[in-house]
Amino acid sequence: MGRPAKFSQDQILDAALAIAAESGPGSATMAAIAARLGAPTGSLYHRFSSRDLLVATLWLRTVGRFQDGFIAALAAGGAEAAALHTPRWCRERPAEAALLLLHRREDLAARWPAELGQDLDSCNARVSAALDAFASGHPGIDRDRVIFAVVDVPYGAVRRHLLDRRSPPSLVDELIVSTCRAILPFGKAVTAPFKIQT
């Protein structure tokens, strides 16, 4: 029976996240992550066969956490709640927000690991399905308008602040809500009286 791993997968990913947030994703090398943990580099390769696999796993964990909150907000509170999820998440999880919103997936891993291809497809499909369900539950609302209001506007609103390494101010929330109400025909009444399948 082998020795139990000294560091969990989440601890390794957390170390990679901290380095990427501080110095950019290119700095999250296997050697730097190992040094941050105080672990031999070989122990990382025992868990992750390559740096690409490690950072791709980190990206999937991060996007999954973001999507969990977004989908829950859309299902429970509607369009405004979903739109406000982005700035609130940025305040609560600044390192993850910087990784997810300031860097493309392609910037993190030079080559997306084949073993994570299905996970990538699943993560893209679940938000699309949630938006489809919301749009179909509100026949008077065009799906593209919903996406613009709850995805594009919040992303654009927070990105400038993240680039400056600042938390989005509360004014961002106010402007996102105003935009959401202007774009969607039912304004604040665009809630979610249905269940999104996740």
CATH architecture of 9-188: Orthogonal Bundle (1.10)
Question: What are the sequence ranges of the domains in the chain?
Answer: 9-188
Tokens 């860097």 correspond to: 103
**Average pLDDT of the residues in 126-131:** 93
**Average pLDDT of the residues in 77-94:** 95
Does the pLDDT at position 196 exceed 50? Answer: no
Surface-to-core class of residue 107, CB atoms within 10 Å of its CB (0-12 exposed, 13-18 middle, 19+ buried): middle
Does the pLDDT at position 85 exceed 50? Answer: yes
In this predicted model, what pLDDT tens digit does every residue of 143-177 receive, in sequence order? 999 999 999 999 999 999 998 989 999 999 999 99
For residue 5, the model assigns a pLDDT of 65
Pick the more confident residue, 28 or 5: 28
Surface-to-core class of residue 60, CB atoms within 10 Å of its CB (0-12 exposed, 13-18 middle, 19+ buried): middle
What is the CB neighbour count within 10 angstroms for residue 128? 11
Of 21, 7, 52, give the one whose Cα is nearest residue 60: 52
Q: According to the per-residue pLDDT averaged within each range, which of 100-109, 117-126, 175-184 is highest?
A: 175-184
